[in-house]
Each structure stands twice: as structure tokens, then as C-alpha cells.
Amino acid sequence: MDPLPPRPRRIAHLDMDAYYASVELLRYPELKGRPVVIGGRRKSAPQEGEAFPRLKSYAGRGVVTTATYEARAFGVRSGMGLMKAAALAPDAILLGGDFETYGRISRQFKAAVAEIVPLIEDRGIDEIYLDLTDVEGETRAIAQRLKDAVRQATGLTCSIGITPNKLLSKLASELGKPDGLTILGLEDIPSRIWPLPCSALNGIGPKATAKLEGLGIRTIGELAKAAPAFLLEHFGKSYGAWLQEAAHGRDDRPLTITREPKSISRETTFERDLHPKSDREALSRILLDLCGRLAKDLARKELLARTIGIKLRFEDFSTITRDHSLEVPISDALPIRDAARTCLKRVTFDRKLRLLGIRASSLVKACEYTLGATEPSRAAEPVAALFQDLDP
DNA sequence: TCTGGGGTCCTAGGACCC
DNA sequence: TCTGGGGTCCTAGGACCC
């Protein structure tokens, strides 16, 4: 007897609404209805009775992480420089991010969802994919239960899109924001998806958008009508074929339920650009600190790294990386620092720096690597040593 | 008014090995 | 004296996402 044909997939994308900003409104309900921007680092939480800082009083580097819908009405967007945002909405409230709290509430909403749907793909702090295919019940009713559970657990609203695949669900969740619920079938693609700009597709970023526009393609519908050979010619075999599939709403990627980390990194942008020579002590101290934090991250996750890399961003925003792979995987700050120094020697320092970063990759589980002897511990070296004796 | 920090995946060339 | 083909690892950069 033939097996039953597989049920059509029912995939949900659940996205918290203006997540960081909404968490702050839970904490400061008096800010509800006002333009609020989250950005920069939290120095200290505003105390009772104290006035909230305004965007216009901000000076320095940093970008908008999230903005309330009231702030978005002024044109403020995620990723925008804070100085630019201040020009658009000078009287908006500016709060630094409190990522510990955002992480805690994130775990709460995911736990509440997991009570209803076991198959979850984690897509970061404020969004998840869910497989509803084998969940009993009508689609809209399940979605409403999910929204109720999230609100019950956190006091926050979310938007849900439900379609036959991840690509369309991601798009659909965006259509009803905030507090939305959008259910689409393949038959809705021409009317609901094709009028949207290509950049609405997850995987088409600024570069591809500009290139498509240069070719006269602005909407997903126009992309769907483009000749396959034309897309292959301009975007290559792999991406060209994907563009074609995506425009027709075709996507058979499964959910990724568990994931092993591929890399761990730490980086920091300085308050002002630093000179590789005259500021070398500061640079050494910063890189040392990053090595220490990376070592702690590796230890906490019980991982070892076979490759250590550095990242440098210069004053003109050009960015370079240098990698160094080791015979024996490491996790301690000292060998990480040695590897970083090896990388630094391959860099020409002819401009000021605005960012330093350190990265661990080719990760192995500490428990699975017990063979080789670990490196004997050594005494720490002077702090300034890292950026010593390098090119000007 | 210049553009955070943490990630993933892809491409491409060269080394090296069989 | 013109030269294979495949596989894997390493490095560097870039696009994209949250």
C-alpha cells in the first residue's frame, strides 16, 4: 500500500513587535505613545523622577537598534546612525540597550510558545519559525493561541505569518505588523507578494536591490517575470537560480531545530579613532580585554577554537581580517593573545583605527577534545606588548 | 550626520595531497 | 617542456541577517 501523500507544510514565522523598544515600554509605561529609540550602550538606567534623555542631546557614535512606531513615523529606522536619527526626531527619548533583560524575556516567550508547538527554529532574540504541520487545530486558532501565550508570558505583542514555507511566512509576518496575523496560500502570491519590492525578500539586501533596480526590476512580480537566463547571467548560477525560486515563493528549506555554533567573536568600536602608534597602549589594552572576554565565552560554552582571527576597521571604514589556525585547539586568553599577535604582524598600519575585533572559529567541543596535552600556563606579559614593534 | 555587535553562508584562489 | 583531475584545508573578503 502506498503511504499517504505528505500533508502540505504549515510554517509559521513569529516576530516580536519593535522588540527592544516594547520591553522598555513595559519598564517605563509612562513612555507609551511617545517616540522612543533604543541605541548605544546603556550607561545607567534612568532613575525615578529623573527626566529621560533626548536624542538631540546625544553626541558620538552608535546606531539605532530599535525604534517605537511613533519614532518610525519621523523616518527613524534600525541601523541608522544616532546623529542622523537625532536630526529627524530630536525630541525622541533615547535609551541604551539592556540586553540581559531582552535575553531573559526572549527565553520567556520562547518557552511559552514551546508549550504549544514543539518544533521551533531559533532565529535570534526576537523571532522564531514554527512547524505547525502536525499541530492539531485550525490554523487561525493555533496562531491566536500562540499570540495569547506570548502576551500572557511577557505582556508583549507579536506578529505571525503562516504559509507553506519559511520564505513566505517571514514575509507574511511583516505584512500585519504590529500585532498582526497573516495567513497566505500559494494562490495569494500574485496579489499579495508580487506587488512588494524585491528587498522585502529575506536574502535580497541593499547590494542586490540596487543591482536589480539597475536592471529595471523593482518588485517581486517583475523579478518573477524575468527570464531565468537573464538572472543567471547577472547574478551567477547559485544566486540567480535562488532569485527565480524566491520570486515564485518556492522554498523547501526545513527548520533547523538544533544548531552548533560556528564562530564566537567580540568586537568594539572606539569612541574616537585611535592611532596605531601614538595610541598603541590603548589599542593593546582593548585587544587584550577582547581576548579575555572571548576566552570567557569559550569557557562558558565549553568550546575550543582551532582558528583565531582579528578584525580591524580603519577610519575610512575599510575592514580587513586576518586568520591564524593552530595545531592544537585553545580557549585560554594567553594563547588567544599569541595568535592575535601573529595575525597583527601581517597587517600594514597606515591609518587610524575605529574598530578592533577578535574571533574564534573551527570550534570543537572541549569534552570531545581530551587527547593532546594542554599548554602549560604562563605568566602574563606587559599590557602594551601587543601593538609593539609593528609597522607605523 | 557617517555607518553597533553578533552571527551565517558563499566565493575564490592557493597550497598540498593522491 | 608542457603538463590530469579531484579533494580538502586555509585565508580573505563580502553580502546578508537580527
DSSP string covering A127-146: EEEEE-TTS-S-HHHHHHHH
The answer to whether A316 CB sits below 7 Å from nucleic acid chain B is yes
Write out the three cell numbers for A180. Answer: 498582526
CA of A128 to C1' of C1 (A): 61
Q: What integer pLDDT is reported at residue A20 of this predicted model?
A: 96
The Cα-based distances of A74 to A36, A152, A178, A250, A313 in angstroms read 11, 31, 17, 36, 31
Nearest partner of A14 among A155, A135, A114, judged by Cα:
A114
Q: What's at A20, amino acid-wise?
A: Y
Q: What is the pTM of this model?
A: 0.92
The answer to whether A264 CB sits below 7 Å from nucleic acid chain B is yes
Confidence of residue A378 (pLDDT cuts 50, 70, 90): low
Residue range A259-284: mean pLDDT, rounded: 96
Q: What integer pLDDT is reported at residue A176 of this predicted model?
A: 94
Residue range A366-391: mean pLDDT, rounded: 63
Residue range A73-84: mean pLDDT, rounded: 93
Residue range A308-328: mean pLDDT, rounded: 97
3-state secondary structure of A110: helix
Domains for chain A: give ranges and CATH numbers.
11-16+101-189 (3.30.70.270), 19-97 (3.40.1170.60), 195-247 (1.10.150.20), 263-367+378-387 (3.30.1490.100)
CA of A312 to C1' of B2 (A): 18
CA of A134 to C1' of B4 (A): 40
Residue A195 scores a pLDDT above 60:
yes
Active site residue A127: yes
Please, are residues A194 and A175 in contact by the beta-carbon 8 Å criterion?
no
Please, are residues A177 and A126 in contact by the beta-carbon 8 Å criterion?
no
Pairing of strands A181-183, A158-163: parallel
Q: Which nucleotides of B are covered by protein (CB under 7 A)?
A: 1-12
Which of A43-52, A198-207, A230-239 shows the lowest per-residue confidence on average (mean pLDDT)? A43-52
Q: CA A59 to CA A94: how far, in whole Å?
A: 12
Q: What integer pLDDT is reported at residue A4 of this predicted model?
A: 76
CA of A391 to C1' of B5 (A): 28
Residue A162 CB-density burial (10 A; 0-12 exposed, 13-18 middle, 19+ buried): buried
Which H or E element spans position A390?
none
**CB-based contacts of A136: which residues, under 8 Å, 6+ apart?**
none
Confidence of residue A392 (pLDDT cuts 50, 70, 90): very low
Q: What integer pLDDT is reported at residue A40 of this predicted model?
A: 81
Residue A380 scores a pLDDT above 80:
no
Q: What integer pLDDT is reported at residue A371 of this predicted model?
A: 56
Nearest partner of A275 among A174, A350, A165, judged by Cα:
A350
- Name the maximum alpha-carbon separation found in chain A: 79
Report the nucleotide nearest the CA of residue A265, measured to C1'.
Answer: B6
The answer to whether A255 CB sits below 7 Å from nucleic acid chain B is no
| Peptide bond just before A178 cis, omega within 30 deg | yes
Q: What integer pLDDT is reported at residue A7 of this predicted model?
A: 84
CA of A323 to C1' of B15 (A): 16
pLDDT above 70 as % of chain A:
94
Residue nearest to nucleotide B6 (CA to C1'): A265
The answer to whether A81 CB sits below 7 Å from nucleic acid chain B is yes
Q: DSSP string of A278-326?
A: TTHHHHHHHHHHHHHHHHHHHHHTTEEEEEEEEEEEETTS-EEEEEEEE
Q: Which nucleotides of C are covered by protein (CB under 7 A)?
A: 9-18
Task: Read off the pLDDT of residues A169-191 as tens digits, 9 standing for 90 and up.
Answer: 999 999 999 999 999 999 999 99
Active-site residue among A24, A30, A127, A260? A127
The answer to whether A216 CB sits below 7 Å from nucleic acid chain B is no
Confidence of residue A385 (pLDDT cuts 50, 70, 90): low
Q: What integer pLDDT is reported at residue A170 of this predicted model?
A: 98
Q: What integer pLDDT is reported at residue A60 of this predicted model?
A: 84
Write out the three cell numbers for A43. Answer: 550607561
| Strand C protein footprint, C-beta under 7 A | A 79, 123-127, 170, 201-209, 306-307, 309, 319-325, 343, 346, 362
CA of A124 to C1' of C17 (A): 10
Residue range A182-206: mean pLDDT, rounded: 97
Residue range A214-219: mean pLDDT, rounded: 97
Please, are residues A176 and A156 in contact by the beta-carbon 8 Å criterion?
no
Roughly what angle, to the nearest 10 degrees, separates helices A228-247 and A206-214? 130
Pairing of strands A36-41, A93-97: parallel
Nearest partner of A56 among A77, A29, A84, judged by Cα:
A84
Residue range A161-168: mean pLDDT, rounded: 98
The answer to whether A258 CB sits below 7 Å from nucleic acid chain B is no
CA of A121 to C1' of B8 (A): 15
Residue nearest to nucleotide C18 (CA to C1'): A124
Residue range A250-271: mean pLDDT, rounded: 96
Which of A43-52, A64-73, A75-84 shows the lowest per-residue confidence on average (mean pLDDT)? A43-52
Residue range A26-41: mean pLDDT, rounded: 93
Please give the mean pLDDT across all residues of chain A.
93
Residue range A293-321: mean pLDDT, rounded: 97
